[in-house]
Amino acid sequence: MKVLKSLFLLLAIITIIGCAKTSEIKQASDIQFKSEYGFSFSYPSSWVENKEGLPDRWAIVDEKKSTILFIAAPARSDDLLVLGRSMALKDIYGENVNASGIKKEDLIDIVQIVKLDSLNNRTWYNYGIKFKGKNIDSFISGTICNNNEVTLVLVSDSAYDFQNQETYKKLLSTFKC
């Protein structure tokens, strides 16, 4: 239950980020990433690419080891809320989660933390997780592009999170499918 309360707090932060003005102009120092899955986005040149898992996994890392990664896979549904809630259940309870073994109150909390937001004319599911005791925050966003679910994840030391949230928001605002 404590994890879910932390998730709710992070959701409030994500909502604030999603509501912020996103009409930032791409800077000359940004790098354009183009995926084989038909999407692209820009990210700061100060972040370093990790292409190890291409084409379906990719990451950028900053000097503080904060990471933004993406995962692309065939969409299991065209309902973003269903996809987001399913992903949140897996993130909180593990890959082999069985919803029948989770308390009703905890399931209700999952339903409440996963929200849909629009950014740059694209709808995203969004939620956040604060890993207690590890000083790590994770923001998760997903959308559908060319019948694929594209998930972007920011994993950050909470001490640096405002700067990383701005980078994450900018990345999402430049996403094109």
pLDDT per residue over 122-174, tens digit each? 999 999 988 777 778 899 999 999 999 999 999 988 766 778 888 888 899 99
Number of H helices and E strands in the chain, helices first, is 4, 9
Distance CA 20, CA 23 (A): 9
Does residue 119 surpass a pLDDT of 90?
Answer: no
- Summarize pLDDT for 15-26 with one digit per residue, the tens: 434 444 433 444
For the chain, the first-to-last Cα distance in angstroms comes to: 37
- Summarize pLDDT for 49-93 with one digit per residue, the tens: 888 887 889 999 998 888 999 999 999 999 999 999 999 988 888
For residue 91, what pLDDT is reported?
87
3-state secondary structure of 13: helix
In which element (H, E) is residue 173 found?
Answer: helix 161-174
Closest CA to 38 of 152, 172, 144: 144
In the chain, domain spans: 2-174
Alpha carbon of residue 94 to chain centroid? 17
Specify whether the CB–CB gap between 7 and 112 falls below 8 A.
no
CATH architecture assignment, domain 2-174: 3-Layer(aba) Sandwich (3.40)
Q: What is the mean pLDDT of residues 38-47?
A: 92
For residue 4, what pLDDT is reported?
43
What's the pTM value of the predicted model, to 2 decimals?
0.78
Specify whether the CB–CB gap between 111 and 98 falls below 8 A.
no
User: Cα angle vertex 81, ends 102, 148, to 5°?
Assistant: 115
User: Cα angle vertex 62, ends 30, 10, to 5°?
Assistant: 100
Does residue 14 surpass a pLDDT of 70?
Answer: no
